């Protein structure tokens, strides 16, 4: 049975590897699992067929036989549990890597999104300019803490894990801002993640969707 994931037919990230199917593609590439992609328009994402798979009408989803999953954290965890390569075998090391998965999604990603999303939805509101420095301050605090913990290590806790995979994709949303500027170890960490062959394959596959679309 072929694993099938869903992704944007017309990604607003314009092939920059920022839409969340990238996490799932990268995880599947790391463990060597082939997969198919079903591309969805925004309209199709809100139709009953997709809502049966994803209650919030979002991408990505993951289907393998009669298993259907949504939420990238759950999907990446499932892939990491089923296949070698993304979680250590030792029970304690595995628990720590899983903790980093949660930290990426529950502790580091929220302030990054809290800062980014008002830029799309509230930029014209009177409170936007006043609020932005507060939101940026929260991101700066979090990345400083993460930078301190990472130090000069290659990965968060020993070998590369699903925790690093999620953390790199979360931190990538700060690329192009000045928020990583004070932390060369985090920029190097992101670059190490992006240099992994599995990341490159996933990125190229996602970008190919945009390239095909923009050439029609
Ligand atoms: N918590 C869920 C998960 O991790 O799976 C969040 C899923 C999610 O936010 N999916 C987004 C979506 O389907 C796409 S990735 N949005 C449509 C909707 O909610 O109706 C988010 C995203 C979109 C665009 C960019 N970009 O342009 O850079 C980056 C990330």
| pLDDT for position 13 | 92
Does the Cβ of 72 fall within 6 Å of ligand 1?
Answer: yes
The ligand 1 atom nearest the CA atom of 46 = 20
Superfamily of domain 3-85+198-214: Glutaredoxin (3.40.30.10)
* Span from the CA of 178 to the centroid of ligand 1 (angstroms): 23
pLDDT at 62: 98
Contact 57 CB / ligand 1 (< 6 Å): yes
Ligand 1: which atom is nearest the Cα of residue 12? 27
What does the pLDDT read at residue 6? 98
For residue 73, give the ligand 1 atom closest to its CA: 4
Q: What is the pLDDT of residue 99?
A: 98
173 CB within 6 A, ligand 1: no
Q: Is the CB of 64 under 6 A from ligand 1?
A: no
Q: Which of 21, 58, 70, 74 to mutate to test the pocket of ligand 1 (most atoms within 8 A of CB)?
A: 58
How confident is the model at residue 214, as a pLDDT? Answer: 85
Give the pLDDT of residue 186. Answer: 98
Low-confidence ranges of the chain (pLDDT < 50): none
DSSP secondary structure, the chain, as one string: --EEEEEESS-TTTTSS-STHHHHHHHHHHTT--EEEEEE-HHHHTSHHHHTT-TT--S-EEEETTEEEESHHHHHHHHHHHSTTSS-SSHHHHHHHHHHHHIIIIIIHHHHHHHHTHHHHSTTSTTHHHHHHHHHHHHHHHHHHHHHHHTT-SSTTSS--HHHHHHHHHHGGGTTSSTTTT-HHHHHHHHHHHHSHHHHHHHHHHHHHHHHHHT-
Task: Give pLDDT tens digits for 21-51.
Answer: 999 999 999 999 999 999 999 999 999 999 9
Identify the pLDDT of residue 216: 76
How far apart, in whole angstroms, are the C-alpha atoms of residue 147 and residue 163? 15
CA distances from 17 to 23, 53, 82, 161, 189 (A): 9, 23, 24, 19, 17
What pLDDT score does 129 carry? 94
- The per-residue pLDDT for 1 is 82
- Spans of all domains in the chain: 3-85+198-214, 91-196
Ligand 1 pocket test: which of 9, 10, 59, 207 has the largest number of ligand atoms within 8 Å of its C-beta?
59
Are the C-beta atoms of 75 and 24 separated by less than 8 Å?
yes
Out of 5, 13, 19, 61, mutate this one to test ligand 1's pocket (max ligand atoms within 8 Å of CB): namely 19
Q: Whose CA is nearest to atom 1 of ligand 1?
A: 71
**Cα first-last separation, the chain:** 32
- Say which residue the tokens 């930078």 belong to: 147
pTM value > 0.85: yes
Phi and psi (nearest 5°) for 89? -75, -35
CATH topology classification for 91-196: Glutathione S-transferase Yfyf (Class Pi); Chain A, domain 2 (1.20.1050)
- Cα(59) to centroid(ligand 1), Å: 6
User: What's the pLDDT score for residue 198?
Assistant: 98
């Amino acid at each position: 049975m072929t694993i099938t994931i869903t992704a944007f037919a017309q990604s607003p990230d314009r092939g920059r590897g920022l839409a969340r199917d990238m996490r799932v593609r990268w995880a599947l590439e790391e463990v060597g699992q082939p997969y198919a992609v079903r591309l969805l328009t925004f309209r199709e994402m809100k139709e009953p067929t997709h809502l049966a798979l994803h209650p919030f009408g979002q991408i990505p989803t993951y289907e393998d036989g009669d298993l259907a999953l949504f939420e990238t954290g759950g999907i990446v965890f499932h892939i990491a549990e089923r296949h070698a390569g993304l979680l250590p075998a030792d029970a304690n090391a595995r628990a720590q890597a899983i903790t980093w998965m949660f930290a990426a999604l529950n502790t580091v990603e929220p302030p990054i999104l809290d800062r980014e999303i008002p830029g799309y939805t509230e930029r014209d509101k009177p409170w936007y300019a006043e609020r932005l420095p507060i939101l940026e301050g929260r991101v700066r605090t979090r990345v400083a803490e993460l930078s301190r913990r990472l130090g000069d290590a290659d990965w968060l806790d020993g070998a590369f894990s699903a925790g690093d995979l999620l953390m790199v994709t979360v931190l990538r949303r700060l690329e192009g801002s000045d928020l990583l500027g004070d932390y060369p170890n985090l920029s190097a960490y992101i670059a190490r993640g992006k240099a992994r062959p599995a990341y490159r394959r996933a990125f190229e596959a996602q970008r190919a969707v945009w390239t095909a679309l923009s050439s029609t």
